[in-house]
Amino acid sequence: MSDYSKFNKKKNSVGIIKKKHVVFSDKIKLESGMLFGPISIAYETYGTLNSDKSNAILILHALTGDSHAAGYYDEKDIKPGWWEFMTGPLKGIDTDKYFVICSNIIGGCMGSTGPSSIVPETSGHYATKFPLVTLGDMVTAQKKLIDYLGIKKLMAVVGGSLGGMQALTWCVKYPKMVVSAILLATTARHSALAIAFNEVARQAIMADPHWNNGYYYSKKKPNAGLAVARMIGHITYLSDESMRKKFGRRLQDKNNVSFNFNTDFQIENYLHYQSKKFVKRFDANSFLYITKAADYFDLAKEYGNDSLVMAFSKALAKFLVISFTSDWLYPTYQSKLMVKAMKKSGLDVSFCEIKAGWGHDAFLLPSERFIEMVKNFLNNTYKEI
């Protein structure tokens, strides 16, 4: 892994950017059969769309991500977008060459319509009256944004984790619109283990006395439950190796254990710190809805009559699939199952397992090899079109 110091704050950044919003007044048909709308989508763009609109790349964020993939909101902003090391001039996703789009998923809480949004013509929030949306529904909403931008074909869809699941959905749901796809630390469907962790996290939120069946927006929020849910999730994003190297069994600001239930270990303190940050920026209901959508996702069942080969037979894109050795949430065998099915479907696919000790979150951390692989794949795609 590269050292963070190699990625200077302002070096090759897209600079100051602005979050945009678009509202679609017509209703979309959800996979549940329900008609839902209007919907608002928050998005950001970087770079310039070329004259024939052939250089567009759609970045798809993970579970608790947002549309802010790169750049800064103002000069005082000390934290750039979540994929700053990958997205910008001369970087893996080169904004001097490509027109890059990143939008917040519906069901989220970072500007797009979700449970925390106000119901039109009322003063109340959707809360749990918000419909259960699927990844297919999220992609349907994204397509409306791409249509709105006047783009007929995406040069690439790129996503890690839940973003990779969205990219997969794009490839089989709108195959003629996708030239290539980069899938990072992702899966074609959740294992029982992944579903189990999500369910425990959801139960932590719903067991909070302040959850109030989702109607907490004008009251005290279920922060304790959401904090526990985040701690559970965060553990799955790390690895035994990364936690051992970073924390071990070291105590937090003390020489001896307290012999009570106070925070003793550094790993405990770290999880509490991460959870406190999380509850300040994320909505508990959105966490419930998005994890449920992830659990429902099953590419083979939804698009291939329970066959991954049949599902991928619908795709036309060429693929780059990358897994990480220490990712135990979506381990490499799941990527290999996808690659095998892609090859049986006659697709052009490249695969690489990158050695990394940081667990599932490795796709969110800078690595020279990782960046170069993405850059070369996109360069080759760009040359081909």
pLDDT of residue 123: 85
Element (H, E) at 21: strand 20-24
Domain identity same for 46 and 88: yes
Q: State phi, psi for 373 to the nearest 5 degrees.
A: -65, -45
pLDDT digits (tens, 9 = 90+) for 314-368: 999 999 999 999 999 999 999 999 999 999 999 999 999 999 999 999 999 999 9
From 285, 315, 348, the end of a domain falls on 285
From 223, 258, 285, the end of a domain falls on 285
* 45: Cα separation from own chain's centroid: 17
Domain identity same for 216 and 352: no
CATH of the domain at 35: 3.40.50.1820
Residue 117 in tokens:
């949004």
3-state SS of 284-348 is: HHHHHHHHHHHHHCEHHHHHCCCCHHHHHCCCCCEEEEEEECCCCCCCHHHHHHHHHHHHHCCCC
Name the one residue in this structure whose structure tokens are 């397992």: 353
| 161 among known catalytic residues | yes
Mean predicted confidence (pLDDT) in 173-184: 98
Element (H, E) at 232: helix 223-237
Mean predicted confidence (pLDDT) in 42-52: 98
Domain identity same for 117 and 162: yes
Catalytic choice (180, 239, 360, 361) = 360
Catalytic choice (161, 242, 323, 326) = 161
Classify residue 161: in a domain, yes or no.
yes
As for how many domains the chain has, the answer is: 2
pLDDT digits (tens, 9 = 90+) for 101-160: 999 999 999 999 999 999 998 989 999 999 999 999 999 999 999 999 999 999 999 999
The pTM of this model reads 0.95
pLDDT of residue 11: 73
From 285, 308, 342, the end of a domain falls on 285
Domain identity same for 180 and 212: no
Nearest of 309, 340, 61 to residue 184 by alpha carbon:
61
Classify residue 292: in a domain, yes or no.
no
Classify residue 294: in a domain, yes or no.
no
Domain identity same for 229 and 313: no
Residue 258 in tokens:
């307290």
Domain identity same for 152 and 257: no
| 66 among known catalytic residues | no
Percent of the chain at pLDDT > 70 equals 97
Domain identity same for 89 and 226: no
pLDDT band for position 10 (cuts 50, 70, 90): low
Element (H, E) at 28: strand 28-29
Element (H, E) at 60: strand 56-60
Sign of the Cα torsion 295, 299, 304, 306 reads negative
Catalytic choice (327, 345, 361, 367) = 327
| 360 among known catalytic residues | yes
Domain identity same for 150 and 48: yes
Q: Dihedral angle at the C-alpha atoms of 111, 218, 285, 225, nearest 10 degrees? A: 130
Structural domain range at position 25: 4-190+299-384
